[in-house]
Amino acid sequence: MPQLRWQCRRGMRELDELLLRYLDGNYDQAGEQEKHAFEALLALSDPELIGYLLQQYEPPAELQGVIRKIRRRAAS
């Protein structure tokens, strides 16, 4: 998991916080499919990632669930 923590560090504080909050609060309990989706999300470029999280455009179906959870954690 240290490698995932490093990948969550994007250089934009708000984005770092969103990703790390999900990693610390949800990742361990997530199913394998959701874990793979989060890892795929971390492989995206920052502009793509921000666009999906800010609902600027629709994410691929396989990422929608994890993005929804990240947004919910941000709202709470």
pLDDT tens for each residue of 7-57: 999 988 999 999 999 999 999 999 999 999 999 999 999 999 999 999 999
Q: State how many domains the chain has.
A: 1
Please give the residue range of the domain that contains residue 61: 2-75
Single pTM value for the model: 0.91
Token pair recorded at residue 5: 């923590």
Looking up residue 33, the CATH number of its domain turns out to be: 1.10.150.250
Length of the chain: 76
Contact 8, 42 (CB under 8 A): yes
Query: What confidence score (pLDDT) does residue 45 get?
Result: 94
Residue predicted with more confidence, 2 or 39:
39
**Helix residue ranges, H only, the chain:** 2-8, 13-25, 32-42, 46-53, 61-75
Query: What was the pLDDT predicted at 73?
Result: 84
* Residues 51, 37: Cα–Cα separation, whole Å: 16
Which tens digits make up the pLDDT trace of 30-39?
999 999 999 9
Residue recorded with tokens 């921000």 = 50
